[in-house]
Amino acid sequence: MQNLIKKLNSYTKLSEPSIQLIKERLVYKTIPKGTILIREGQTARQFYWLVKGTMRGRIAPKGELITTWFATKNMFCSSMPSFIMQKPSMESIEALEDCEVYCLSRHDVLKLFKLTTEMSSIVRQMAEEAFVHTLSRTYEFQSLSAKERYASFVKNYPQLLQKIPLGMIATYIGITQQSLSRIRRTK
How do residues 26-59 score in pLDDT, each as one tens digit? 999 999 999 999 999 999 999 999 999 999 999 9
pLDDT, tens digit, for every residue of 75-115? 999 999 999 999 999 999 999 999 999 999 999 999 998 88
Tell me if 43 is assigned to some domain.
yes
Question: What's the pLDDT at 13?
Answer: 93
**Which residues face 43 on adjacent strands?**
88
Which residue type, as a one-letter code, is found at position 16?
E
- pLDDT value at 187 more than 70: no
Question: Is 80 a domain residue?
Answer: yes
Count of domains for the chain: 1
Q: What is the mean pLDDT of residues 19-28?
A: 95
Find the largest Cα–Cα distance for the chain. 55
Q: Is residue 40 part of a domain?
A: yes
For residue 185, tell me if it sits in a domain: no
Q: What is the CATH number of the domain that holds 33?
A: 2.60.120.10
SS3 string, 53-119, reads CCEEEEECHHHCCEEEEEECCCCEECCHHHHHHCCECCCEEEECCCEEEEEEEHHHHHHHHHHCCHH
Residue 137, SS3 per DSSP: helix
The answer to whether the pTM exceeds 0.85 is yes
d(C-alpha 19, C-alpha 1), whole Å:
11
Bridge-based pairing of strands 27-31 and 55-59 is unpaired
